[in-house]
Structure 1
Amino acid sequence: MLIESRRRAYLSAMQVVNWLPRTELPFAAPSRPELLEPTEPLVATPIAPAAVVDAPVQPVAKPAERVKVEVPRPSLASTRTGAKPADEAEEAPVVARVAPVPPPRFALQLLRAGRCLVLVELPTGEAFQTRDPAYLLLKDMLRAAGLPDSPQIVGEPVRWPLLVRGTMDQGPEAARDFVQGFLSARLEDAPCVCLWLIGLPAVRFAGEANAESFNRELQVEGLGSVWALPGLELLMEEPQRKADVWQAMRRLMARWKESNE
């Protein structure tokens, strides 16, 4: 327990001038009455409004701003690749996308009638039946031409496209090469004096012609002499075309008739 003299020495060392104990200290000197009196609260003196209004406002000087100069800088990609800036680069030409050409769809059947081969379009896509109207019309045409009216089927029908899926080219040029290759192989097995092409697909992909070549004789490299004819369905829908077929047939009939003698 500290005595009063030592306690005051500690307080003086800590530079404590006035202090009040929380409880009564033994051997302590009596407290001074003036220290126990409550202190008056400090009241802030209000500033008159006029003083605020009349007080001169000192302008605050702002540091002078530096004018920023925009310097065009090449982008990182153009620096690496050596490309010109956007304002100097020439406009790239717009390349139009060409829509892919869908593969043609057709079915052809090769027949042999005497010394003639007949490549005919299958109207329904299926092989001929003996009572089909298109097949009966074909028999009438062969009979009028002086050829056997019961032609022999040569191979399976040629159907295009070959594949339903896959990456193989099945466009018009590929179809033409396939049909002409098929006919060339058959002609090597048994030559003919005239190749009939009946129907637009046969004329287009074997004779490399179009509908304007109907009823005309054409010379095709690798196939020889071919005769372009309208399709059997077209002849049934437009019977007036049969007269043009008959006139063209009369001009060519001597060729296979002489071979039969």
Structure 2
Amino acid sequence: MQVVNWLPRTELPFAAPSRPELLEMPEPLVVAPLLPVSVAAPVAEAPAEPVIKPSERVKIEVPRPSLASTRSGAKVEEEAAPAVAKAPVVPPPRFALQLLRAGRCLLLVELPTGEPFQTRDPAYMLLKDMLRAAGLPDSPQIVGEPVRWPLLVRGTMDQGPEAARDFVQGFLSARIEDAPCVCLWLIGLPAVRFAGEANAESFNRELQVEGLGSVWALPGLELLMEEPQRKADVWQAMRRLMARWKESNE
């Protein structure tokens, strides 16, 4: 019958006493009415900004790079910067040349050993044979000391190829002014390169060099001894030029 509590109208005999909390009537539940949407709760006002007095200044912290970051940044910039290519250092050429005179011809000869010729040197004996074949005196006269390059062992003076060429040509030009010649023999690659401004491809050819006149480029004496087959080319070139100094001797 869904009866929760039952209270008798009269006191029942021999019944247990009633509990007072059951006799209290519960207060009715009051439900608060819902407010309409237009009636909203008041919005909380934003807190007022603090007032800065003129005497007070706002301290602004400026971040400073650390020493480590500065060094690392500088290193990155150095690595990023393109490296400047340095010009290659050209070592000075090394050679020794001896100037000789035979009749109206001058001979600038490479010294195979770097030392002046001796009477019994094989290279000097070959040179005497070439002079006899050309119809010139076979006992040439030595003109001055050997031209050795580089001039200085130490120092800051330019001793590169260009300086060597200017020095050799200036030396020959002065000797030719003292005693003119009809043909200048350049014997050996250093003589051909630094006096005639040519290379090995010009061997056995006649060249015209400003300030020096007509020059004849020849292989070195050591090369002629090592490769005897080159002597035939030297003889053929000599026959073409022989008339020039023979006429001068007559």
Provide TM-score, normalisation by structure 2.
Answer: 0.68
Give 2:141's aligned residue.
152
Matched, 1:200 2:210: no
Structure 1 unaligned runs (5+)? 1-70, 76-84
Matched, 1:116 2:125: no
% same residue? 93
Q: 1:97 aligns with which of 80, 86, 91?
A: 86
Give 2:232's aligned residue.
243
> Could you tell me how far apart the structure 2 residues matched to 1:72 and 1:260 are?
95
> Could you tell me how far apart the structure 1 residues matched to 2:108 and 2:76 are?
63
AA at the equivalent of 1:113: A
AA at the equivalent of 2:240: R
Structure 2 unaligned runs (5+)? 1-61, 67-73
The Cα of 1:94 is off from its aligned counterpart by 3.3
Cα–Cα, structure 1 residues 205 and 87, in superposed 2: closer, same or farther, change >3 Å? closer
What secondary structure, in the 3-state scheme, does the structure 1 residue paired with 2:117 have?
coil
The Cα of 1:232 is off from its aligned counterpart by 0.1
What secondary structure, in the 3-state scheme, does the structure 2 residue paired with 1:156 have?
strand
Cα–Cα, structure 1 residues 246 and 95, in superposed 2: closer, same or farther, change >3 Å? same
AA at the equivalent of 1:194: C
What secondary structure, in the 3-state scheme, does the structure 1 residue paired with 2:108 have?
strand
> Could you tell me how far apart the structure 1 residues matched to 2:97 and 2:146 are?
5
AA at the equivalent of 1:215: N
Give 1:184's aligned residue.
173
Matched, 1:229 2:223: no
The Cα of 1:123 is off from its aligned counterpart by 0.3
AA at the equivalent of 1:130: T
Matched, 1:213 2:206: no
Range with bigger deviation, 179-188 or 97-106: 97-106
Give 2:161's aligned residue.
172
Provide TM-score, normalisation by structure 1.
Answer: 0.66
Give 1:260's aligned residue.
249
What secondary structure, in the 3-state scheme, does the structure 1 residue paired with 2:211 have?
coil
Report the count of equivalent residues: 183
Structure 1 residues 152-207: Cα deviation after superposition (integer angstroms, max 9, x where no partner): 00000000001111111111000000000000000000000000000000000000
Q: 1:138 aligns with which of 127, 135, 138?
A: 127
Cα–Cα, structure 1 residues 72 and 98, in superposed 2: closer, same or farther, change >3 Å? farther
> Could you tell me how far apart the structure 1 residues matched to 2:153 and 2:181 are?
34
Structure 1 residues 29-50: Cα deviation after superposition (integer angstroms, max 9, x where no partner): xxxxxxxxxxxxxxxxxxxxxx
The Cα of 1:96 is off from its aligned counterpart by 2.0
Cα–Cα, structure 1 residues 74 and 219, in superposed 2: closer, same or farther, change >3 Å? farther
Structure 1 residues 128-175: Cα deviation after superposition (integer angstroms, max 9, x where no partner): 000000000000000000000000000000000011111111110000
Give 2:3's aligned residue.
none
> Could you tell me how far apart the structure 1 residues matched to 2:245 and 2:234 are?
16
What secondary structure, in the 3-state scheme, does the structure 1 residue paired with 2:138 have?
coil
What secondary structure, in the 3-state scheme, does the structure 1 residue paired with 2:225 have?
helix
What secondary structure, in the 3-state scheme, does the structure 2 residue paired with 1:157 have?
strand
AA at the equivalent of 2:162: E
